[in-house]
């Protein structure tokens, strides 16, 4: 997992966030003055600042900072990029992994930048379908490869902790561009590489 550096929340914003958490705790019937909850509002504010710091970062800038000329024209795949996000409908966790591939067209990007970009998008309120599209679009727009393939597999706590309560159900989404759509062999290679030795943890 790529760890992004957190900033410090402004004092006024911190105070407002803590007051909001206290209100929620009261509304669910808790005593905000009991020992176990005294520091909870501050902890929640800090946790949410970290979990949503993707709003403060530009994923395209991350990619642009590490572009290199290359004659390679074979598929580049980074598999099993673990991430977590927050469902925009219920503010509950999404836990999963992304598989990201592209075919260079004169340029490659530093390998660590793709997982970092995934984390930036994931650390915003999301739906999985949109997250998949955002990753594919950013790579296509910045690197301008011959093709892009993104597959995300994730578990949604809004399905497991509430609602249908289906434990271990997994949602898979994909976004394909260029050669990954036009070329059947490229598409088959991509999905074959993803599934090779896959450990189904999500």
Has residue 111 been placed in a domain?
A: yes
Task: Specify the CATH number for the domain of residue 156.
Answer: 3.30.1130.10
80: left (phi over 0), alpha (psi -120 to 50) or beta: left
Measure the CA–CA gap between 52 and 124, rounded to whole angstroms: 5
pLDDT tens digits for range 151-180: 999 999 999 988 888 888 899 999 999 999
Write down the catalytic residue from 30, 158, 160, 189. 158
Write down the catalytic residue from 18, 99, 128, 153. 128
pLDDT tens digits for range 28-45: 999 999 999 999 999 999
- Predicted confidence at residue 5, as pLDDT, reads 47
| Of the candidates 126, 99, 101, 118, the residue with the CA atom closest to the CA atom of residue 179 | 101
- Contact (CB, 8 A) for 172 and 98: no
- Contact (CB, 8 A) for 173 and 128: yes
Measure the CA–CA gap between 85 and 128, rounded to whole angstroms: 9
Write down the catalytic residue from 16, 61, 89, 129. 89
99 is annotated as an active-site residue: no
Write down the catalytic residue from 87, 133, 160, 189. 87
90 is annotated as an active-site residue: yes
Domain span at 22: 11-51
- Predicted confidence at residue 200, as pLDDT, reads 52
Looking at the fold, whether 29 and 82 belong to one and the same domain comes out as: no
53 is annotated as an active-site residue: no
Write down the catalytic residue from 90, 130, 133, 160. 90
Looking at the fold, whether 88 and 159 belong to one and the same domain comes out as: yes
Looking at the fold, whether 63 and 18 belong to one and the same domain comes out as: no
Looking at the fold, whether 117 and 22 belong to one and the same domain comes out as: no
158 is annotated as an active-site residue: yes
160 is annotated as an active-site residue: no
Counted domains in the chain: 2
Has residue 110 been placed in a domain?
A: yes
| Of the candidates 135, 67, 140, the residue with the CA atom closest to the CA atom of residue 106 | 67
| Residue 1 confidence class, pLDDT cut points 50, 70, 90 | very low
Has residue 4 been placed in a domain?
A: no
pLDDT tens digits for range 95-106: 999 999 999 999
Tell me how long the chain is: 202
- Predicted confidence at residue 197, as pLDDT, reads 60
Write down the catalytic residue from 19, 61, 88, 129. 88
Task: Specify the CATH number for the domain of residue 29.
Answer: 1.10.286.10
**Pairing state between β 76-87 and 125-126:** parallel
Looking at the fold, whether 91 and 129 belong to one and the same domain comes out as: yes
């Amino acid at each position: 997992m790529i760890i992004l550096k957190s900033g410090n929340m402004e004092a006024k914003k911190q105070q407002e966030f803590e007051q909001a958490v206290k209100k929620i705790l009261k509304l669910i019937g808790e005593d905000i003055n009991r020992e176990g909850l005294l520091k909870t509002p501050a902890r929640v504010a800090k946790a949410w600042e970290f979990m949503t710091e993707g709003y403060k970062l530009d994923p395209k800038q991350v990619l642009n900072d590490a572009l290199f000329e290359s004659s390679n024209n074979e598929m580049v795949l980074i598999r099993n990029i673990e991430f977590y996000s927050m469902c925009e409908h219920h503010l509950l966790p999404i836990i999963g992994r992304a598989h990201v591939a592209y075919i260079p067209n004169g340029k490659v990007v530093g390998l660590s930048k793709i997982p970092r970009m995934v984390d930036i998008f994931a650390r915003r309120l999301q739906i999985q379908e949109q997250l998949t599209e955002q990753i594919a679009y950013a790579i296509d727009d910045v690197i301008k490869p011959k093709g892009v393939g993104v597959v995300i597999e994730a578990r949604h706590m809004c399905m497991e902790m509430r609602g249908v309560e289906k434990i271990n159900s997994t949602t898979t989404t994909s976004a394909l561009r260029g050669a990954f759509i036009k070329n059947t062999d490229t598409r088959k290679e991509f999905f074959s590489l993803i599934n090779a030795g896959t450990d189904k943890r999500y």
